[in-house]
Structures are given as structure tokens and as C-alpha cells.
Structure 1
Amino acid sequence: MSWLRALKQTSRSGLTVERKRLEPLIALRGAAGLAIVIALSLWLFGPVAAASSAFGAFQAAIATFQRSWRPRPELAFASGTSLAVSTFLGYLTVSHEPLFLALLVVWTFGAGMSWAAGPTIGLVASSNVAIMLVTVTLPTSVAQAAGHASMMVVGGLVQAALIVLFPVRRWGAQRDALADALAAEADYARRLRHDPVAPFDPEPLMEARAAAAVTPRQARRRPAELHGARGLAERIRPVLASLADPAAGASTEGRERDRVRELLDSAAAILDATAHAIRHGEPVDLPPGPITAFRTPDTGAVLTGPRYRAATRLGTLLQDVVETAGGTGAPTSTQRTPDHNLQKTHRPQPPQGREELRDQPPTTRTRPTTPSRHPLRRPTLPGLIPVALSAMRKDLRRGSQVTRHATRVAAVAATGYILGTWLPLGHGYWAPLTSVMVMRPDFSQTYSRAVARLGGTVVGVTAATAVVRLADPGTYLSAALAVTSAGLLYLLLRTGQFAAQACIAAYVVLLLGMGGEQWTQTVPERVLLTLLGGLLAMLAYALYPAWDTPRLRTRLADWLTAQGRYAAEVVATYADPVGRNAPDVREALLAARTARAAWHTAVARATAEPVRHRGLSRTAADDAEDALARLGRAAMLLEAHLPERGAAPVPAAARFAEALRASTEQGARAIRDRRVPTWDAVRAALDAWDSEAESAPGHPAEAAPDPADKAVRTGARRMLEPLTELSEALDTAVPPMTVDGTARAKAKGTAPGKPDGPRNPRDSTAR
């Protein structure tokens, strides 16, 4: 992408106002907290102290709107306290410009490094530095500075107290995350009706897992319906895919496929009803049609073998998730009669004489109707400090994007402060303030926020100035207008940066006007210095960038390593059965999801960057992503039927798993070194496995093969296919795609190891 196109795209993104669900009660609560702090400060200390303390309550309320699963009172208190510390230290050095400049560089560098601990901590730390540049100019003595800092802490405490006393939709974010995960699986089930290999984005499941981590205090107060349902949702998705997949489930057409579609549609309806109940804290209201679909005894007559087991397990999991969503583990009001009980409807008995079903082990059932004794733990607020410092120390290295961002923002803040001081405009802190507020570790956010900051500043300052000139408000009316601007900010904060920056600009002008500064002292200088700060931020990123495009190969290699480990752990479980709750498989799955998310984030950022990576074209990246997604899908289908503890082992699976793990690690090194990975070891292990199965004593070729061996060997063969396609995608010798696609298709058809038959372009389910 050219620079001109990148600038157009980021500018459009920064000026866009998105349509989001507004939360007026939460905005009103934040504005009320700000009004209480301003009124108390005006009564006790006067307008200057009120302006300073208002920044503490203002920042504390903004912190509670950030995307975080931590309790909101903790965020409000931490934000107000950290701003108070920054302001007091800044005032102690502001009279000595070299010392203050050194403090600004250190403080800004630390705020930039805090992005390593998460976006919420990074944003709060950056905002503290920006607001500090304003608040250090308000006190006139050390005693006043201490008083102002104390009132900032009070502002944070007031916002925290209001959250505790007037909760709005308690546990709402956690409910939404879990409901979104179940609703995503419902949508997945519906799409599987029409496309048996439809893709699935695991991001809702990742969000639900992040939301499920609780502090010790939260664990004692978490609603019962938020216990256990996430784990059940994790186990439902592979069963859905296994039931719908033509290779592991029903045929593409016919009576079996019709029955599978009916079950998938019924599962989607039940999952949607459960998601609605969890989201709104209501009893589960199951529709009668889907229940009837799972009650019919025809399932055992239509589906056989793995298909029947998948349908049975799906009904069991749906029953469990419905009971868990009820909150107590007991049937809800919609389940008072046997006609509404899924437990009695999803276990159809196979007809007599069906040997393949009679020989199958009974389906085990785990019903998490009681809270887990070992929930995912989130550190407390004091416990978060060493975690954050450890993350920052880990990222403090040459080449790290966070370190480059911290260096960049520290240099720009110092440069902006020096230029603002030297220029005859007054209020020179607006330039570094703007730079700190708009700079982010990636290109697109930095440039889009710079444009939004400038546009919002012009609109907000113009509107506030017009009000000030026409109404000539006094102290109390200016305070009321400032609270109104802050309330609009809280209401519109999630609609985009342009609206937020306009409200912030109006709020600051009105608040400083309450403190005694005239509009002529703030408007012209602030607009020019805002432009200067935005230009410095954009220029700094252009001169000292941290592009994601050159890192695409590294992200792809990381994903290959994680995906290969996950697939190897699944296959290895068949060699040493440990039951369905295999911890190594679960750990590898989470690592693969994390690597996949990092890859997608890098691709999204690289798409907006004005650079071109010659080592990995967009077409090659798309093909490689599709291949790794298919590898994960093949492993997921095997995971859906993990052997029970004590089942007969498949020794050859261990050798294939070791070859797969070693080959993917070597392949990842090849990708980083711009080489094409090879899979000779994997192919040799699979060939040896086939030869061993054909020549094993007591298992001649004409005899019936071992079902477990055959199933896992088929899955292993399906894993080799996407690995071959990954090498083809990264092979620079393959001709580029022509208009009709014939050149690349021909090249792929002649590649060694290419499986016969056309490839479904939508077969890109990511595990």
C-alpha cells in the first residue's frame, strides 16, 4: 500500500463515527461522580483545586470504560491514585526545567513500556502522563500540590464508591462474553447445515475464557450460571464439526445428512436460547421443536458408528449446558416435565442386531452442576504489579515493538515540550500532551488517532468557545458545562475517536475556564500546538517505525509451531489414552489459539501499512493461513473422539506425533529463514504406519482393521495434506496467480505430494 492510500485509509478511520450500543446509565453515573468531586472541591478549596481534582475523577471514570475484565472499582481507584502520584512528582520538578524534562522522559518511557502488560494499563498510564502536563501548572506550592493530589485520589474513590453503590448490569461484560461464545457456536451449527466444512473463528471462545478469570473476591460473588458453561462450550464445537464433516460424519446427501441437518438446527436453537438466558440472567426457555428433534428414537436407526456417537454426545453436552445456565444445576421451569428434559431425549437406543453400536463404549457424562473448585485466577490489584513489571522486563529488548514505541513516545514528548516552550504561543504543554495521547505501538492507530485528535480538537474547541463567548458563564456554570461535556464523552466513548476527542477538547476548555483561564488564552494556541503534537507523532513513526509486515513470517512460523504441537498432542493421546480431559491437548490448543490471534493481528496491521514485504505476498499469506487452519481442523476432528482412559493404545500414533512435532518446529525455522519447509519425516512416518497396519500379525489386509487405528491414521493423513499445501504456498517457484487461476492451479497440480481431487476453498476452519 502506498503512503497516500495509507494516509487516506487511516484518516477515514479516525474520522468515522461508529454505531455502537450506548450505555446511558453508566455514563450518567460517571458524570455524577465527576459532579460530586467538582462540587466538593469548589466548596472546600476553590476553583483551581476543583479543576485539578476533576481531572482525577474524569480519568477514573474513563478507566472504567476500558476493555478489561477486572472489577471496575479497582480500575477507578488505581487510575485516580496513579494520576495523583504523577501530578505530585511532576510539580516537585516543574520549576526546574531540565529536571522536569528528565522526569517526563522517564515517565513517558515507562508509560510506553506499560503496553506490554495490556492495552488497559497502557492507556491509563499514557493518559496519566498527558493529564500530568496540565495539572502540574495548577498548584502554586508543594502543600497545594499535595492537596490537589489528595483530591485526585478522592475523585477515584468517589467513582469507585458509585460503582459499588449503584451497579449497572452487574457481571454484564462476563455475561456478554459467555453468551457471545454460545451464540457463535449456534451460528456455526447453522452454517454447518449448508457447508459441512464451514470455518469458525475461536475468538469468542478466547474472550469467554479471558472473562472467566476472576479475582478471589469475584470468585465468591460470581453468579452460578457463569460456572461451567464455558468449558461445555469448548467441548461442543468439535462435536458439531465431527457430526457435520462428510469424512467423519454423515454423507453429503441422503437420509443421514437430513438427520444431521435437523440435529444441527435444533442444537443452534438450544444454544441461542441458552445464550439469551445467560445474557439477561433469565431462566432458559427451550423451544419445543428442538427438544422433539433430540427425543425422537429414529436417530439410532438413521445414524451409525461415529455419527451416532457424535449425536449422542452432542445431546449430552446440550443438556449439561442448559442445566448449568439455569444457575443451580437443577432443571429450570421449562424442564419440569420429562417432555422438556434433554437427558431423556438425546440417548436413543440402537436397533437390535447393530453390532457396530453394541460394541461401542458407553458415552461418559460430566455434568458441571456445581461451581468449579479451581476457577481461572486473576491477580488482585497489588498482585498485578509484579505481573506487569515482569511483562515489561520481558519486552525490554532490542527489536521489541513495545520498546520501540516507548523510545519513540519518550523522544516525541521531550521534543514537543521543548518546542512548545520555545514557541511564543503559551501553554506549550499541548504539543506533548497530544503526542502522548495519540501514539500507539502500531501504525494505523497512531495515524488515525492523530487525525481524530486534530479534527475533534477543532470541533470541541469551537463549540466550547462559542458557548463561553455567548453565555459568559461563571465558575459554577462552567463547571456544569464541563460535567455535561464529560457525560457526553462517557456516552459516546465507544463510537470512535473523533467524537471522544471533541468532547475532551470541550471539557478541558470549560474546566480551565472554571479555573480562571480565558478562552483567548487557550483556543488558538491549543489548536496550533495540537497540530504540532500530531505531526510530531506521525513523523516519529515514519522515521522510527515498528512495522508488522516484515514480522509476518515470524508470526506464521509461531503459528505453525503451535498448531503442529496441538495436532501432535491429539495424535499422541491415541497412543497413550488419558481420557477426554487431556491437559496437554488443552494447553496446546490454547497456545495455538494465541498464535493464531497474533497472526491475524499482524495481518490486519500489515494491511494498513505503507510498506511491502517481498518475502511473503498477500496471496501466499492467505494460502498459508488456509493451510494451517485446515491442519487445526483435522486435529480438532480427532479431538472430538479422543479415546477413553484404558482404551486400547495405538503405538504407531506416538511415532507419527513425534515426527509431526519435530517437523513443524523445523518447518518454522525454515519459514523464518525464508526457506520452504519439507515434510519428508512426516510422510515417512505415515508410510511406515500404513505398512505396519497392513502387515501386522492377526490383521491381514482382508480382515477388518482396528477402528481406532484406522480413524487416527485417516486423521494423520488429513494432517499431511495441509502441510504440503503450506509448502506450496511458500514456494517462490510457483508462478503467480493469473486472472483465471489456471497457472497457479496447474503448478499446484504438479507439486509432489498434492492430494487428488479439488480443494474446497472454504475449508478453513481455525481451531
Structure 2
Amino acid sequence: MLRLGPFKWHELSLGRALRVALGVAVPLVVGVVTHHLDDGAFAALGALPAGFASFEGRARTRVAAVVAASTGMAVSTFVGGVLAGSAPWLLVPVVALWGYATGLSVCLGLWLSVAILQWAVALLIAVGIPQSPSQAALRAGLVLAGGLFQGVLVAASWTVQRGAAERAALAESYRSLSAYASGLAAGSTEPPPPADFSATAVVADPNPLLSDTTRAICLNLLEQAERIRASLAALGAHTAADPSGTVRTFAVRTSEVLDVAAEAMSARSAVPATRLRELNAVLAGQAAAARTSGWHWVAEALLGQLRAVDTIVGRMRTTGSGTGHAGPDEAPQRPVPGPGVEWTALTLKANLTPAGETGRHAVRLAVVAGLAELMVHISGLFQGRWVVLTIFLVLKPDFASTLSRSVHRALGTAAGAGLGAGVALLARPQDAGLIVGATVAVAAAYALFSVNYLLFSVSLTVFIVIILDILGLSAESTATARLANTAIGAALAIIAYWAWPTWEGLTAQQKFARLLTSQSAYLTYLLSRLGRPGTTDLARLRALQSAARRARTDADASTARLAAEPIHPPLTPAVARTLVAVVMRLAHAELSLHLLVLQQAASRRAAGTGAADRDEEWRGCAPSAQLDALAAALGGTLDKLAEALVTLKAPGGLPPLRRLEASLRDRSLPDGSRLLPITDSIVDATNTLSDVLRREFA
């Protein structure tokens, strides 16, 4: 049965579509006014893919995606135009190289992979109009200008409702805490979801026009949310042994406070803030009444955190969104790092091997795209670039996405090609009619991009047919050729996946098991080397880190594939997402530990003859056996959890991690102030993994 869905109408975004469509329409209008419509069309072709790249990321990352897409598209436009005109056979290895880069980019996250995909789109569009190097350079400049114009529009959007996205995301995060507190009041004893708050990504990449003070306030509210989540989990441990119901009553009131706090974050009036202060006063009375109970300390901690939220929200209300600098008391407590050049390089290096899912996909896409380009050259297929372009767009790491995109792309192109030819025929020879038709089509494509791939393909094909008609390529022949070649490309993508499927690799539970065993090996080695900086093998450390990165990438891909397939408990998409989120917390702590190990090794090298004294200082404060015991316990726990994932049975007989970690706190450690928070996070994340698997596999 042919499936045309799903239709995600809730993701329809008319405002965003109009903004990005403006970036495509303006170059066309400028082209008409200056009597250089061809140049305007090239700029519009540059703005089109950059517009899709601008959908990803938050603030700076969104502009970075547009710049990355635009720069790569300009280079691709030049290369494609020059090679098509002078050495068309060289396009075969170039297409294969672009295919490998596109396939490998999926490990870098959505916003970078979408940006890099646009490079291949620009390359293959440029192939259709061969030019000399000087002409190709001019065209590449127009493509770059069109793409960067989209970046200017994105940056301009920062001036509208500054801070609104951050406030809304924080409010949503606090409402999720309120929902959890409400569940405790209803008798639930489950731990809170370990996934990141919705505000985490927004606060990590805020509107650049926010003042330093406002950014610090957002970070502090996010930090308080993390602390409140931990306190609510501690409160939940007391609900079962509460015959009087006072803990549940306290949870009800806490839920109300969190709801009002969320309203105060998103509202401009002072009413919610006043109500928040009143509710906190009532909550303080309940905490005082519980002074003789076993959960009093939890109540006091939670109350202190909610009072802090009250104070921070008050600052948010009185702080404008203009420029400024944070005061000492408003400094961000927990800066959220973003991926940089080093992270990108390490991630790519970890996924180069075809043994992993990403590496296999990269090689498969390179081979299939290169062979398709070779077939086009040998056969002389008219406008055969659409065959290769279709392969780039529909061949994905998983079969479900490849099959659905292939079918939807073929059907959408069939409908859009006929519709586009009709619009071009009716509008010709009036340039204004062509521009209006192109603008409406591209706005529809942008609006429907996240709604349904079939509808998106129809709208995009209409736009491409009209633009190519402006550039002098007959709409009728373009529509016919694109229809046939898209069908060929879609069929080749499906055949390629059947011939070289990703499911030759490990099953989902085995991938998640490998995720935990790789973390176990990496973490165990880090802890065992901590007190022995002179024995650290840096090559082995890098190899363990790369293996852990590769396993996380494969687990991410497996999670995406599970979401597209029928649900098979107990390893459901929700469980998979939770496991990935918790492992990311563990990975962040491991990176801090990795840095500490490297710094100790560097310090030992700098100390020279004093290095032995430094090592002895560590052994005197925390014997290597003590760290080894914690390392062995953590490694053993992660290995048992990996076994549980393979057998899909609840783990049992796990060592007392918290007790072993607490023994470190009884020592006066060199660098202890840095080590102990790291081990605390590691133990917490590992225990969370244990709780999740016990709950789901019981």
C-alpha cells in the first residue's frame, strides 16, 4: 500500500517560509529591475539551498549553517561549471568525492549535514550550464551573494522579539518540571527523564543581541532547573513511605510554584512574579512543618532553589534586552560548550572507517553517485544530472527513509514537473509572471519542508522548472527530463540500498551495548591513569576516545532508524533517546576527566625531576588501588548494562558506585575540587542508566 504521509501540519511555518522565500525572490526582482534576470536567477539558486540550511541551528549556528552552505555552494558552482565545459569526465571522481563528504557529514549533526548537502546540489545544478572559468567565477559569486543574503535575513530576525525564544524555552522546561512534580503528587516514584531540557540548546546558542546580563540570567535559570530536577528526584524517594500524605501535598504546591515560575518567565506583567512570591511563602510554611521528618532536608533544598528562581525571574523582568554586561553575581554558573573545529575533526576521524554506520553510508553514497555519473556520461542521457542529484537527496543511512523519500521524490517530481511547465507556459513571456510563480512555489516548498516530503517535492519541482525556464531551458523538456531522471535516480538509490544494506551491521540492541562497552573501556582507562600520569599511553587514549565517539554516532543513527520503524518493546525509540541523552552526560564528564589526565601528564613533564614527588603526593592521598576500585566498579557496571541490552533483561548484582565514590571525598586530594564533581557526574549518569534499564526491562 502506497503511503503518502505522515503529514506534520503542526510543523507548518508560514512566517519562516515567507522570510526565506524573500531571500529567493529579491534577487529575481533585482534581476528584472537591472535587466539581468539571468544573474538574478543564479543568485536565487544560491539563496534557495542556503534557505534550507537556515532552518537548522538556533542563532549563531543558524548563520554558520548558511555561511557554510553558501561558501561550499560557490566553490561547487565554479567546479561544476568549469568541469562541465572543459573536462566532463572529471566529474565522475568529483561527484564521488562530493558524495563521500555528504555521506560522512551525517555524523556532524543536522545543521552541518544539511549545509554540506547543499554543496552537491549546487555542483549538479551548475553541471547543466557549462561555462568558461571567468563565467563560472561570476556565477559562483552570484551564488555566494544569494546565499549570504539569506544569512543577512537570519541576522536581521535577531532584532525581533529579542529574548522571546530563550524565555519560551525556559518556561517550557519549568513546565516539564511542574508535570514531574504533579506526577509525584499522584504517587509516581519514577526518576525524572534524564534528557536535556528544551532550553539547553537554546541557551547554548542564544540570540547574539541579548545583553550579557540576560544571557547570564538564562544560564542561571537553566542551572536551577537542573538542581530542581535532582531535588524532585530525591523528594520522590520519600513519597512511598509517606502515610500522612504530606510529601504529596508538598509536591502539589511545588508543581504550582513551578507553573507560576514558567508563566513569570514568559509574561511581561508583574502578576505572575507576585504570585510566585506568595506561593513560595506558603511552601516555606509546609517545609517548616516537616522539620522533624526525614524529608525535611529535601524540602529545604528545594525551597532554597525555588527562592533563587524567584530572585532570578525578578532580574529577568527588570532587565531589558539591550546591551550590557553581567555583574559578578550574575555570572553564568554552567557555561554550555558548543562543538568547535577540534570536535568536528575528531568526530570525522572517528567515523572514517567503513565498519561504522556513518562510514559505510559515506562509501555507499560515493560509489552509487559516482557510478550514476559514469552511466550518465556513457549513455549521454539528456539532463542526466537529475539522476545523480536524486541519489544525493534520497539515499540515506537507513532503508525506511531511503524508500519513502525515493517514492515521494518521484511522485512529487511527476506532479511538480507538469504543474511547473504549465505555470511557465502561462506566464511566458512576462518576467513578472514567472517571478510571482517562482516566489509562490518556493514559499510553499519552504513552508512544507518539515510537513511532508511529497508536498515539498511538488513545490520545489515547480520552482526549479520555472527558474530553469528563466535561464533559457525549455520548461516542457526540463519537466519531461526531470520526471524520467528522478524516477531513475530513485530506483538506483533503492537498488543500491538493497545491494549494500546498513542492516548488515549490528542490531539496535547490540549497537547500544557497544556504546556502553566503549564508554566502559574509555572511562576505565582514564580513571586508572589518573594517579599514574607517567604511564598514560596517549595513542591508546585517543583510540579509546575515537571508538567511544564512533559508537555514539552509530547509536544516534540507530535511534533515528528506530523512530521510523514499528515499535518493538522494550527497546523503543523513547528508551533509545533516553539512553543516548544519559550517555551524552557521561561523555561530557569523561571529556573533563580526559582533560584532567592530559593536564596532569603535561604537569609531570614540566616538573621534570619533581614528577616523582608529584606522583607520590597522589599515592599518599588517594592510593591507586582506591581509584582502580572505582574504575573497576564503573567498568563492571557499564559492561553488565551492555549485557542487559543484548539480552533485553533487567541488570542485577551491580556494585555500590555511590559508596565507592564517596570514599574519595574522605581524602584530601590534589586537584580534588576538580576531580570530585567529575566523578559525581559519572556515577550519577551510570546509576541513571541502571535505573532506566531496570525500569524498561523489568
For normalisation by structure 2, the TM-score amounts to: 0.74
Deviation at 1:497, TM superposition (A): 1.7
Alignment partner, residue 195 of structure 2: 203
Check if 1:523 corresponds to 2:496. no
1:152–1:496 CA distance, 2 compared to 1 (3 A): same
**CA distance, structure 1, for counterparts of residue 473 and residue 192 of structure 2:** 56
Check if 1:124 corresponds to 2:97. no
Check if 1:239 corresponds to 2:231. yes
Structure 2's unaligned 5+ residue stretches are: 321-326, 527-547, 587-622, 663-682
Alignment partner, residue 742 of structure 1: none
Deviation at 1:293, TM superposition (A): 6.5
1:625–1:478 CA distance, 2 compared to 1 (3 A): closer
Cα contact 1:83–1:132 (8 A) shared by 2 = yes
Q: Secondary structure at the match of 1:494?
A: coil
Check if 1:148 corresponds to 2:139. yes
Check if 1:663 corresponds to 2:636. yes
Deviation at 1:244, TM superposition (A): 2.5
Alignment partner, residue 699 of structure 1: none
Alignment partner, residue 420 of structure 2: 464
**CA distance, structure 1, for counterparts of residue 334 and residue 191 of structure 2:** 32
Deviation at 1:184, TM superposition (A): 1.6
Output the aligned Cα RMSD. 4.7
Q: Superposed, which structure 2 residues align to 1:664-743 within 5 Å? A: 664-667=637-640, 682=655
Cα contact 2:413–2:461 (8 A) shared by 1 = yes
1:653–1:287 CA distance, 2 compared to 1 (3 A): farther
Cα contact 1:91–1:136 (8 A) shared by 2 = yes
> Counterpart amino acid of 2:510?
R
> Counterpart amino acid of 2:468?
L
Check if 1:376 corresponds to 2:336. yes
1:40–1:549 CA distance, 2 compared to 1 (3 A): same
Encode CA deviations 1:151-184: one digit per residue, 9 max, x unaligned: 1111123222233345444455544443332222
**CA distance, structure 1, for counterparts of residue 156 and residue 351 of structure 2:** 39
Cα contact 1:420–1:529 (8 A) shared by 2 = no
**CA distance, structure 2, for counterparts of residue 398 and residue 597 of structure 1:** 13
Alignment partner, residue 75 of structure 1: 65
Alignment partner, residue 30 of structure 1: 20
* Range with bigger deviation, 466-475 or 532-541: 466-475
Cα contact 1:30–1:487 (8 A) shared by 2 = yes
**CA distance, structure 2, for counterparts of residue 22 and residue 724 of structure 1:** 38
Deviation at 1:438, TM superposition (A): 1.6
Alignment partner, residue 325 of structure 1: 313
Check if 1:540 corresponds to 2:496. yes
> Counterpart amino acid of 1:558?
L
How many residues are matched? Answer: 605
1:69–1:178 CA distance, 2 compared to 1 (3 A): farther
**CA distance, structure 2, for counterparts of residue 282 and residue 505 of structure 1:** 51
1:723–1:152 CA distance, 2 compared to 1 (3 A): closer
Alignment partner, residue 582 of structure 1: none
**CA distance, structure 1, for counterparts of residue 688 and residue 333 of structure 2:** 42
Check if 1:439 corresponds to 2:395. yes
Q: Superposed, which structure 2 residues align to 1:216-615 within 5 Å? A: 223-224=214-215, 225-246=217-238, 249=239, 251-274=241-264, 276-277=266-267, 284-285=272-273, 287=275, 291=279, 294-295=282-283, 297-302=285-290, 304-328=292-316, 370-372=330-332, 375-378=335-338, 384-385=340-341, 387-423=343-379, 426-547=382-503, 550-559=507-516, 602-603=558-559, 605-606=561-562, 608=564
1:530–1:724 CA distance, 2 compared to 1 (3 A): closer
1:259–1:216 CA distance, 2 compared to 1 (3 A): closer
Deviation at 1:403, TM superposition (A): 1.2
**CA distance, structure 2, for counterparts of residue 244 and residue 545 of structure 1:** 46
Deviation at 1:413, TM superposition (A): 1.4
1:561–1:288 CA distance, 2 compared to 1 (3 A): same
Alignment partner, residue 110 of structure 1: 101
Cα contact 1:443–1:609 (8 A) shared by 2 = no
Encode CA deviations 1:683-734: one digit per residue, 9 max, x unaligned: 89999x9xxxxxxxxxxxxxxxxxxxxxxxxxx9xx99996997xx9xxxxx
- Residue of 37, 40, 47 corresponding to 1:50: 40
Encode CA deviations 1:536-571: one digit per residue, 9 max, x unaligned: 11221222122375242231353478699999x9xx
Identify, as 1 or 2, the structure richer in helix: 2
Q: Secondary structure at the match of 1:227?
A: helix
Encode CA deviations 1:366-390: one digit per residue, 9 max, x unaligned: x9950327733436xxxx5554333
Cα contact 1:127–1:437 (8 A) shared by 2 = no
Encode CA deviations 1:376-408: one digit per residue, 9 max, x unaligned: 3436xxxx5554333212210131111111111
Cα contact 1:435–1:534 (8 A) shared by 2 = yes
Q: Secondary structure at the match of 2:338?
A: coil
1:281–1:107 CA distance, 2 compared to 1 (3 A): farther
> Counterpart amino acid of 2:98?
W
**CA distance, structure 2, for counterparts of residue 42 and residue 111 of structure 1:** 35
Cα contact 1:69–1:173 (8 A) shared by 2 = no
Q: Percent identity?
A: 23
Cα contact 2:180–2:192 (8 A) shared by 1 = yes
Cα contact 2:412–2:456 (8 A) shared by 1 = yes
**CA distance, structure 1, for counterparts of residue 382 and residue 563 of structure 2:** 40
**CA distance, structure 1, for counterparts of residue 276 and residue 343 of structure 2:** 49
Q: Secondary structure at the match of 2:502?
A: coil
> Counterpart amino acid of 1:158?
F
Q: For the pair shown, which has the larger CA radius of gyration, 1 or 2?
A: 1
> Counterpart amino acid of 2:511?
T
**CA distance, structure 2, for counterparts of residue 720 and residue 72 of structure 1:** 36
Deviation at 1:499, TM superposition (A): 2.4
Deviation at 1:302, TM superposition (A): 3.8
1:596–1:88 CA distance, 2 compared to 1 (3 A): closer
**CA distance, structure 2, for counterparts of residue 565 and residue 256 of structure 1:** 45
1:82–1:544 CA distance, 2 compared to 1 (3 A): same
1:216–1:180 CA distance, 2 compared to 1 (3 A): closer
Q: Secondary structure at the match of 2:330?
A: coil
Cα contact 2:41–2:471 (8 A) shared by 1 = yes
Alignment partner, residue 155 of structure 2: 164
1:221–1:442 CA distance, 2 compared to 1 (3 A): farther
Cα contact 1:52–1:135 (8 A) shared by 2 = no
**CA distance, structure 2, for counterparts of residue 684 and residue 24 of structure 1:** 51
**CA distance, structure 2, for counterparts of residue 107 and residue 440 of structure 1:** 15
Check if 1:190 corresponds to 2:182. yes
